[in-house]
Amino acid sequence: MELRWLAAFVAVAEELNYRRAAQRLFVAQPAVSQQIMNLEKDLGVRLFDRNKRSVKLTDAGAAFLGPCREALGAVENAGLLARNAGTGEYGKIRIGFNAGFASDHLVALVRVLRREHHHLELEIDNSRRTPDILKLLRTDRLDIGLVGGPATGPGLAQRAISSTRLGVLMVDGHPLAGARSVPVRALGDEHLVLLESAPGWSIRRLVEDSLERAGVVPREVTTVADSTTMLAFVGAGIGVGFGSMNTIGLTPRQLALVPLVEAADVPTSLVWKAANDTPALRTVIRAVERHLIAAVD
């Protein structure tokens, strides 16, 4: 079964006239007749009832028309994908991110790609620590990563997006909730709700470094296993938590996220494997350069 037989069948089925079908296909009418005969022989059924005055689809022809159109459409779409693959408008991009530092950037990037490059297929990984994302990039299990903190490693390339600062999370009724910033020394009187310690860059490490530099010992510390529990405790007024200022979009309405004055700035970056030089990846990098970096300068 040849594609030109299918094209001839669809043309005749839609025109119900061999002459017009031939004109539509830019071939001679006998060629169309021969292609229909070849197709009917191959299928073992008659597709048209025809005489000198009319052409009609048989029941078999009517049943064959829909799948035939779908098959030709699939072939055309496959060709389009192949032709456009080099433009970077098609392909799959696997995105890793560290929610503690880059959730707002992830939302901004996905919004841009869906608006301007909607043929790209995006696969969003779970939130992970920065070292884990870098490992997945090096082993080709991710295409790009949005991370906070040091983002260097053998074989990796990056674009700096912005820098962020640690913020203090507190319920709206807290005395410091309306402040423009919170000094580290103010944390000495607070009950802190912190996530479990983890190697590498983390919110907890930033908190502990800030407290140590300022010589501040908090009144009480409760350690929780996940950010959901931390937010629940803070929302209930049990204590104050922490998050980067790049996560304002994730902050519940009843909470305030206020910058910590003496906290060190933390860089956020787009990272990818340098050898992974695909058109789709270049499209994403250009989108970041045009939109995300400008948005945070």
Domains of the chain by start residue, with CATH: 3-85 (1.10.10.10), 88-163+267-296 (3.40.190.10), 166-264 (3.40.190.10)
Q: Report pLDDT digits (tens) over 15-49.
A: 999 999 999 999 999 999 999 999 999 999 999 99
Mean pLDDT, residues 144-166: 88
Query: Does 293 score more than 90 pLDDT?
Result: no
Pick the most confident of 85-89, 173-177, 194-198. Answer: 173-177
pLDDT recorded at residue 296: 46
Q: Burial-class residue 151 by CB neighbours within 10 Å (0-12, 13-18, 19+).
A: buried
| 84 vs 143, higher pLDDT | 143
Query: Does 119 score more than 90 pLDDT?
Result: no
Alpha helices (H) in the chain, listed in sequence order: 3-15, 18-25, 29-43, 59-84, 99-116, 130-138, 203-214, 227-235, 279-287, 293-296
Q: How many degrees, rounded to 5, is the angle at CA 89 between CA 83 and CA 94? A: 120
Q: Report pLDDT digits (tens) over 224-264.
A: 998 889 999 999 999 999 988 888 777 888 999 999 997 77
Mean pLDDT, residues 116-128: 90
pLDDT recorded at residue 158: 92
Query: Does 94 score more than 50 pLDDT?
Result: yes
Q: Spell 117-138 as b/e; 16+ CB within 10 A means b.
A: beebebeebebbbbbbbbbbbe
| pLDDT class of 85 with cuts at 50, 70, 90 | low
Q: Coil, helix or strand for 30? A: helix
| pLDDT class of 297 with cuts at 50, 70, 90 | very low
Q: Coil, helix or strand for 166? A: strand
- Looking up tokens 């901004």, which residue turns up? 108
